[in-house]
Structure 1
Amino acid sequence: MLFDRDFAVIDDVPYNVDPARAGSRLAIVSNQSGVAQGLFPEGSLPAVRARIRALLAPWGVTFAGFSWCPHQSEGGVPAHAVACECRKPAPGMLAAAMDALGADPAESRVIGDILNDVQAGRARGFRKLLIDKRQRDRVAAVPWPASAPAGPRS
Structure 2
Amino acid sequence: MSTAAIFLDRDGVINQDTGYVSKRDDFIFIEGVMDAMKLLKQKGYQLVVVTNQSGIARGLFSEDDFIRLTEWMDWSLADRDIVLDGIYFCPHHPSEGKGADTKECYCRKPAPGMFLEAIADLDVDVSASYMVGDKVSDLQAAQAAGVAHLVLVRTGKDITAEGEAMAEAVYSSLTEFAQNIPALV
Q: Could you state the TM-score of these two structures normalised by the residue count of structure 2? A: 0.60
Segment drifting more, 76-85 vs 29-38: 76-85
Aligned-residue offset at 1:31:
0.1
Whether 2:111 is the aligned partner of 1:90: answer yes
Alpha-carbon distance between aligned partners in 2 of 1:93 and 1:57, rounded to the nearest angstrom: 23
State the shift of 1:119 in Å: 0.9
In structure 2, relative to structure 1, the CA distance for the partners of 1:4 and 1:96 (3 Å cut) is closer
Query: Structure 2: where are the runs of 5+ without partners?
Result: 1-32, 160-171, 174-185
Q: 1:123 aligns with which of 134, 144, 150?
A: 144
- C-alpha distance in structure 2 between counterparts of 1:23 and 1:93, whole Å: 22
Q: Distance in 2 between matches of 1:86 and 1:4?
A: 24
1:1-150 equivalences under 5 Å are: 1=33, 3=36, 9=40, 22-126=43-147, 127-132=149-154, 133=156
Distance in 1 (CA, whole Å) between partners of 2:73 and 2:140 is 25
Residue identity matched to 1:94: F
Structure 1 gaps, min length 5: 11-18, 140-154
Between the two proteins, what is the percent identity of the paired residues? 33
Q: How many residues align?
A: 125
Shift of 1:74: 1.1
RMSD of aligned residue pairs (Cα, Å) = 2.6
| Rounded Cα–Cα distance in structure 1 between residues aligned with 2:113 and 2:74 | 24
